Structures are given as structure tokens and as C-alpha cells.
Amino acid sequence: MRSLLALLALMVTSPMARADEAQAAKDATIVETLLRIKTVDVNANAKLKEAVLRHLELHKGTPKYVDLVDRLNLQGMEEELLSIALAAPASTQGVHAGELLLKRSGADLIVAEITGDDEELAKKTILLLGYIGNPDSIAILKPLVIDQHQSRSIRTAAANALGRSRLGERYLLRLVQDTRLPADLNFTVANVLYASTDDSIRAEVAKHLVLPATAGSKPLPPVSELAKRSGDVAHGQELFKTKATCIKCHKVRGEGKEVGPDLSEIGSKLSREAMFVSILDPSAGISHNYETYSAILDSGNIVTGLKVSETDDSITIRSAESIDKVISKDELEEVIKSSVSLMPADLQKTMSEQELVDVVEFIATLKKPGA
């Protein structure tokens, strides 16, 4: 063993290593040798570790990178593993990196991303945990669902992530059975559990939660099933402008009112499932700059809508009818940011199930030019 280590060290320090190709070849040989003998602690030998790190640099962005970190038990790679995991949380490489990070007691790093100031990064981290779906990841997700200090968006993401595993489904079902599930997550959890492949879970949740109903009072199927259905684009466009009332709050290519987000390119931004959720549960994921505010006046009156501008002297609130009201700060007592969307819930009650599918079929065609 001692002679083998001496040979490896000689290969690292050889003058021929100055040439990049020669160095890369030697590094590759060192790594292959280490993988075969399995008894050398790379972390205890600085020169060997340098060779391994150089070799890893050539494999960044490939599944082999994480595999080598794992098989060689390379220490000090936690930040790199987290970066790889969050770069592609729904990929084999991302999940492998996340699993390895948790195995190496990296839960604190993951929790720090969830509790940080960047909510989009937090939701990406939660998504990663859902795809990992092992007891360690589920243990991090569980408290998020019922933590009222977390935003609804974070709690919704956690519930959806738990729904990717049977252990997570059972936990959500227990929350429902014990009436511990926050009411604003009823829609999300109902969709998760009604879509379960476990007959007993579907039967049990039906005793407690119902999915939204359409015009005929018929409960809809889970969003995952709705998203697989095909609709009529032309009919969906007509409904968008009439019965569905979407045009009253959203613009599409210059037509409509600017209360909610412009939907001209929404088909390039959201999945079909996300489109159904935005209609059926609009408060689940409110877009940035479209949060609802309530301005409480000294008179006792309350003006609710989007905050479109604010100066030192006044604040402007836009109502659901696209009417802007300028409120002097002299008459303003308090402004409260709400977690409830200005977009009305239960819009699907004005339509049949197929009409809802048609509207989403049309919305899905609204993409960036050339997409």
C-alpha cells in the first residue's frame, strides 16, 4: 500500500504534469486507481485531493461529477453539491446531489435556502426535497405546511412537494383527518390526495375535502388529470372574452384591462397545471407586484386593490374594475398587504368542465413570438 501511495504522489509531482493534457491523463489515472483500491482517504492527502479536484473540474455539469464526489467520499464539497442540486432540482443529477448533501448532514444548508429572503430560491429548494422524497427530506418539509409564519406560496410548495411521495401523502392525510391543515391549503392538498395512486388515500380524503365544482355543481377531477385533457382553442378564446371574464382584468396583445398580469406570453411561462391552479386557486401563487393591498382610511372606509404607485404624499390603489383611486396619506390610517388574490375565486363555477379546459387550451397558445 505504501509503495502505491508513493507512486501516486510521484505522478502528481512529475515535471511532465506541467503540460495540461499530460496532467489531465495522470489525474484520470489517479482517480481510477483510487476508485479501485477504495482504501485511501483522499481527504488526508493534499496532493491526491488536488489531482481529484482537477479531474472533477473537467466533469462539471455531468452526472459523473456527483458520482465521483460520492464514491471518493470527497469532503468540503457541500456548497458545490447544493449549487448542483438547485441548478436542476427535477433532474437525476440534482436529486443525487441533494441526497448526498442530506446524507452528509447538509440539512442546515438546505433549510437556510428555504428560510432566506429569496422566495423563488426557497420554492426551488422545496421542489428538490419533494423529488428526493426520503425520510430526511420529508422531515424538513413537514413543518413548513402548518407554519403560519411562512407565506402561503411556501406552504403550498411544501404541500405539493410532500405529495410526490407516499410518506408525504400519508402525512398530509393525517393533517386533514386531525383538522390541523390550514384552510387555505384545502385546494392544494385535495388535489394532491385525490391524485394519489393509493385507493385508500383517495377514499379517505373524500370524507373530508372536495374539489372545486363547475357550473353544474359537478366536482372537478384533480388538476393533474385536467392538464392532460385537450380543448378547443377558438372556443377558449371566445370564453376568455365573455363567460370566463378574463379580459376584464388581463391584457392579451393590447386588448383588455391592466389589473392582473399581462397574459400575452403566459404560455411560455407556466405549465398547463399551473394555469389551472391560477384559475382554481388564485391566491396560491400571487405574482410579484400583483399582491392585494387594503388601504384603511381615517373615515373607516377600506379601499382594496393593487398598489400601482406611492409617493411621499399619496398612494394609488387600482380596484378589480381597473379604477385607480389616489389616496392622500393625510387620510390614511394603515396599509395592509393581503395574502388573498384580487382575482376572484370560483371563476370555474361560471363554466362547465370542458369550457374550463378550453380556456386553458387557449391560454396555453399565448407564447413569445417564435416560440
For residues 340-351, average pLDDT: 82
Alpha carbon of residue 363 to chain centroid: 21
In whole angstroms, what is the distance from residue 214 CA to residue 355 CA?
10
Please choose, from the candidates 106, 121, 351, the residue with its C-alpha nearest in 3D space to the C-alpha of residue 231. 351
Range with lowest mean pLDDT among 22-36, 111-125, 339-353: 339-353
Pairing relation of β-strands 314-318 and 324-328?
antiparallel
9 pLDDT tier (thresholds 50, 70, 90): low
C-alpha grid cell for residue 36?
479501485
In whole angstroms, what is the distance from residue 70 CA to residue 67 CA?
5
In whole angstroms, what is the distance from residue 61 CA to residue 94 CA?
10
Highest mean pLDDT among 182-196, 211-225, 331-345: 182-196
In the chain, the domains with their CATH numbers are 2-75 (no CATH), 226-283+345-363 (1.10.760.10), 292-338 (2.30.30.100)
Strands (E), the chain: 251-252, 255-256, 292-297, 302-310, 314-318, 324-328, 332-338
Concatenating the DSSP letter of every residue in 6-53 gives: HHHHHHHH-GGGGSHHHHHHHHHHHHHHHHHH----GGG-HHHHHHHH
pLDDT in tens, 278-312: 999 888 766 766 788 888 988 888 888 889 899 99
pLDDT at res. 261: 87
C-alpha grid cell for residue 137?
427530506
According to DSSP, the residues that pair with 307 across neighbouring strands are: 317
pLDDT at res. 284: 79
Main-chain dihedrals φ then ψ at residue 302, nearest 5 degrees: -125, 125
Classified as helix, coil or strand, 213 is: strand
Pairing relation of β-strands 255-256 and 302-310?
unpaired
For residues 62-80, average pLDDT: 91
326 pLDDT tier (thresholds 50, 70, 90): very high
The residues, ordered by sequence, that sit 6+ positions from 264 with a Cβ below 8 Å of its Cβ are 251, 252, 253, 366
Check if the beta carbon of residue 18 is closer than 8 Å to that of residue 30. no
- Classify residue 143 by burial, with Cβ atoms within 10 Å: 0-12, 13-18, 19+: exposed
HSE-up (13 A, CA, CB side) for residue 78: 11
Check if the beta carbon of residue 325 is closer than 8 Å to that of residue 316. yes
In whole angstroms, what is the distance from residue 47 CA to residue 219 CA?
65
User: Taking the CB of residue 313, how many other CB atoms lie within 10 A of it?
Assistant: 9
In whole angstroms, what is the distance from residue 89 CA to residue 163 CA?
16
For residues 43-56, average pLDDT: 90
pTM (2 d.p.): 0.78
